[in-house]
Amino acid sequence: MSKINMKDYGLSDRFVNESKLHSFSLGRIISQDKGIYKAVTENGEFKAQISGKLRYNAANISDYPAVGDFVMMDENGGNAIIHHILTRKSAFIRKAAGTSNDDQVVAANIDKVFICMSLNRDFNLRRLERYISIGWDSGAVPVVVLTKSDLCENIDDMMNDLDDVALGLEIIITSSLKDDYENIKKYINYGQTVAFIGSSGVGKTTLINKLMGEDIFETKEIRNDDRGKHTTTKRELILLPEGGIVIDTPGMRELGIESADFSKAFADIDELSQMCKFSDCTHTKEPGCAVKRAVEDGILSEERLESYFKLKKEAKYDGLNSKQIEAEKLKRMFKDVGGMKNARKIIKEKNKR
């Protein structure tokens, strides 16, 4: 049996070097459904489960493997045991749905995140701001994909509205009636991993089927309210025929924010805040506030500023400026290893080995 080339699955020197610190086989999680994993190594595909130690040490949901993770595993016939998750280079993380405060990794080690939104009743600028904020924070590059343009009668007005939200982002317009999905292909290179993210029924699965050249995933007809029916129920990683890797994800009815990149998602407000009279301006009641003045002058919409405040509060960044937010994000990132200072110490010790 010929070996699988793991570079096809996005393996890079970064992960190879880290894997040498462990004695198990290097694999990548390609499927996840209710705690059941499927992983691929150079020796083939395996059903996998996590080790007792990994389960015991997991403090929350994000400490479990996710689709896209590179892992160290013990191959054992058709089944395998996952012992360790290699350090993620990026991760799209949302707050878990329901009452839990856990953060959930939707897709790991992605290079680009395609934020899909249909040009019909799903079109929502405030929701898009939410996706973009998390997209930038993931470490991947967000790309906005507008679907079902054939159902839109005022696309020019919608594109004008997008100008103030999708700052600096590439925007791709697609239709289920045309082959313009080809526009997406140029954003997916060999060895790169992209994730399709969006609400239920916006056409993510249809796009992936077209990229594959065949209907590998089930799709359903549009409902009476012109929204697509939700089909995908699990996260799955697949190889495209022409190279590149795609992660399909279930539609999200809720997108809670655990962490976000406001300096990029709200770059216009961040830039305006540099001209405020006070460096710690909260953009509410302070004199000399450039942000409030921009709203009064019609340069910045009141709705966008309210969305900014709402998302900051949800991410527990309420009242913090850009530098303070970055410091808080780093503090969260390294909390499990005793802070950033201790993390540097651990890295140095690993490098010595």
Q: What is the pLDDT of residues 170-218, one digit of tens each?
A: 999 888 666 667 788 888 999 999 999 988 778 888 888 888 886 666 6
Contact (Cβ atoms closer than 8 angstroms) between residue 172 and residue 211: no
**240: pLDDT strictly greater than 90:** yes
pLDDT, residue 229, reads 47
pLDDT averaged over every residue in the chain: 84
pLDDT, residue 26, reads 97
DSSP string, 296-324: HTTSS-HHHHHHHHHHHHHTT-TT--HHH
The domains of the chain are located at 6-85, 91-248, 266-319
CATH class of the structural domain 91-248? alpha beta
Which tokens hold the place of 161? 């509205």
CATH code of 266-319, in short, is 1.10.40.50
Q: What average pLDDT does range 116-145 have in this prediction?
A: 90
- Tell me if residue 214 falls in helix, strand or coil: coil
Q: What is the pLDDT of residues 36-86, one digit of tens each?
A: 899 999 999 999 999 999 999 998 888 999 999 999 999 877 789 999 999
CA–CA distance, 83 with 94 (Å, rounded to integer): 24
pLDDT, residue 60, reads 87
Architecture category of domain 6-85 in CATH: Beta Barrel (2.40)
DSSP string, 215-258: --S----B-TTSPBPP---SEEEEE-TTS-EEEE----S--B-S
Q: What is the pLDDT of residues 294-318, one digit of tens each?
A: 999 999 999 999 999 999 888 887 6
- Of 143, 162, 15, residue with least CA distance to 89: 15
Sequence-ordered list of residues with C-beta below 8 angstroms from that of 165, at least 6 positions apart, any chain: 125, 128, 129, 132, 304
DSSP helix, strand, coil percent of the chain (3-state; round to 5) = 35, 25, 45
pLDDT, residue 100, reads 57
Q: What average pLDDT does range 218-226 have in this prediction?
A: 50
Q: What percent of the chain has pLDDT over 90?
A: 49
**9: pLDDT strictly greater than 90:** yes
CA–CA distance, 331 with 157 (Å, rounded to integer): 41
pLDDT, residue 237, reads 94
Q: Look at 77-81, 114-118, 152-156, 338-342 and tell me which has the smallest mean pLDDT.
A: 338-342
